[in-house]
Amino acid sequence: MPAALRDSLLAGLVAAALALPMLGVRLVDSATGLSLAGRFDLVAWAAGLVFGGRLLLRLIPPLPAMPVLPAGFGNLRPAAGWAMAAFAVLLPFLPFADRNVVDKATLVLIYIMLGWGLNIVVGLAGLLDLGFVAFYAVGAYSYALLSQSFGLSFWVCLPLAGVLSASFGLLLGFPVLRLRGDYIAIVTMGLGEIVRVILQNWQELTGGPNGISGIERPSLFGLSFKAVPPEGQRSFAEFFGLDYSGDHRVIFLYFLILILALATNLFTLRIRRLPVGRAWEALREDEIACRSLGINPTTVKLSAFGIGAMFAGFAGSFFATRQGFISPESFTFMESAVILAIVVLGGMGSQIGIVLAALLLVGLPEWFRELQQYRMLAFGGAMVLIMLWKPAGLLSHREPTIRLDGQP
């Protein structure tokens, strides 16, 4: 008991010392010039809060450990995945789903897709990539420029953007090949910034900081979502005999990203069972062992980089067509950090974990915009809490890729 008290007093003192310069003084602008005014009540509050909180933490017995899930729970995982997919399909038709909800869900889905793409690089192949947003940017600019310069439609540009991003991934993969762990993170971070700076400064091609606006919106098999369809096209509403509504396009975009994201997921689930996918995971576990088994780490790493980049490219061109406007500001380092946080919080390699983490990291801050400046505080706090509570991520269980018949 006295130990707890002493410990809490110490914490309170530290808090007071920190709060004194940070909260305790304030610049006051008066007629005679600037002067300092004390706000010692705030300091007292901060010290008191820390003291009380620390004491509570010491006195309350430690939280009970996470309940161990029953043995059959692992079998629920595919079911949970199907339930989530079904919910995602039905979402736009549910009574509470207005335009706003569908729009936010679209944003979350973009990050889920980016998370699934990065998961191939970080979660499966174990290459810590802090510049993933570069490929997202390449995809977005590919579509915007191809569409504006050559008048190509979204559906032609989508695969092209994927190919361009993938080749970019291979290109950026080369300097990373000889590096390991933390060094990869630093180099990819630098490469990501280089891409952004180029986009910002190559005025003639990318429009520089002004970005590219008026990007063509996608059509559904030639059916336009505009109120007045362009020459030679029919509008979606007209074709299906509906009244024109702006919501149609929002819902269409939602389904488009849902299909793209699910395709990414399906691809990852399949490739994990193929030799390439298994080699990625083995490389994450132990590179030397991989070499001793005759695996060429160069091709394995490059394939992970290229394929991850391809999905970022798809997501990027979707982003461009949804926004109708892109600028380098959308592709800052913060984006890379958020996508990486989604993968790590989700539990490296877990597909469902990434969905949960994306909902948490992108969905919640969007829904709680009313909290304004406290939003980022809550965001940071949530990240710290998750890492304390589940250091390996929300769902860190790894599903084996192969089982023999008749075995549990």
Partner 1 sequence: MLKVEGLHSGYGRIRALHGVDLEVRQGEIVALVGANGAGKTTLLMTICGNPRASAGKVWLAGEDITGLATHHIIRRGLAHCPEGRRIFPRMTVLENLQMGAATGDPAHFDQDLERVLELFPRLKERLHQRGGTLSGGEQQMLAIGRALMSRPKVLLLDEPSLGLAPLVVRQIFEIIAAINRDQGVTVFLVEQNAFHALKLAHRGHVMVNGRITLSGSGADLLANPEIRAHYLDGGAS
Smallest separation, CB 358 to partner 1 (Å) = 23
Determine, following the binding rule CB under 8 A, whether residue 400 of this chain makes contact with partner 1.
yes
User: Cα separation of 335 and 165, whole Å?
Assistant: 17
Smallest separation, CB 346 to partner 1 (Å) = 16
- As a whole number of Å, the end-to-end CA separation of the chain is 50
User: Cα separation of 364 and 355, whole Å?
Assistant: 13
Smallest separation, CB 26 to partner 1 (Å) = 53
Determine, following the binding rule CB under 8 A, whether residue 71 of this chain makes contact with partner 1.
no
Please choose, out of 16-24, 140-148, 356-364, 400-408, the segment that lies near partner 1 by the rule CB under 8 A.
400-408
Please choose, out of 16-24, 93-101, 259-267, 394-402, the segment that lies near partner 1 by the rule CB under 8 A.
394-402
CA distances from 11 to 52, 136, 247, 380, 382 (A): 10, 44, 54, 21, 22
| Per-residue tokens: 215 | 């990007």
User: Cα separation of 109 and 165, whole Å?
Assistant: 20
Q: Which is nearer to partner 1, 269 or 371 (CB)?
A: 269
CA distances from 149 to 166, 214, 231, 285, 328 (A): 21, 12, 19, 45, 19
Instruction: Number of residues interacting with partner 1: please give it, by CB under 8 A.
Output: 24
User: Cα separation of 123 and 131, whole Å?
Assistant: 15
Q: Which of residues 268-307 bind partner 1 (CB under 8 A)?
A: 275, 278-279, 281-282, 285-286, 288-296
3-state secondary structure of 326: strand
> Beta-carbon neighbour count of residue 35 at 10 Å?
10
Half-sphere exposure (CA, 13 Å, Cβ side) for 55? Answer: 14
DSSP 228: S
Smallest separation, CB 280 to partner 1 (Å) = 11
Smallest separation, CB 395 to partner 1 (Å) = 14
Q: Which of 313, 381, 26, 287 is nearest to 168 (CA)?
A: 313
Determine, following the binding rule CB under 8 A, whether residue 26 of this chain makes contact with partner 1.
no
Q: Which is nearer to partner 1, 126 or 328 (CB)?
A: 126
Length of the chain: 408
Q: Which is nearer to partner 1, 33 or 400 (CB)?
A: 400
Smallest separation, CB 295 to partner 1 (Å) = 6
Smallest separation, CB 112 to partner 1 (Å) = 24
Smallest separation, CB 181 to partner 1 (Å) = 16
Determine, following the binding rule CB under 8 A, whether residue 401 of this chain makes contact with partner 1.
yes
Determine, following the binding rule CB under 8 A, whether residue 72 of this chain makes contact with partner 1.
no
User: Cα separation of 192 and 331, whole Å?
Assistant: 9
User: Cα separation of 215 and 220, whole Å?
Assistant: 16
Q: Which is nearer to partner 1, 37 or 274 (CB)?
A: 274
Determine, following the binding rule CB under 8 A, whether residue 77 of this chain makes contact with partner 1.
no
Smallest separation, CB 291 to partner 1 (Å) = 5
Q: Which is nearer to partner 1, 293 or 376 (CB)?
A: 293
Instruction: Please say whether the beta carbons of 353 and 123 come within 8 A.
Output: no
Q: Which is nearer to partner 1, 292 or 372 (CB)?
A: 292
Candidates 2, 21, 63, 403: give the one binding partner 1 (CB under 8 A): 403
Q: For binding to partner 1 (CB under 8 A), which residues are involved?
A: 275, 278-279, 281-282, 285-286, 288-296, 398, 400-404, 407-408
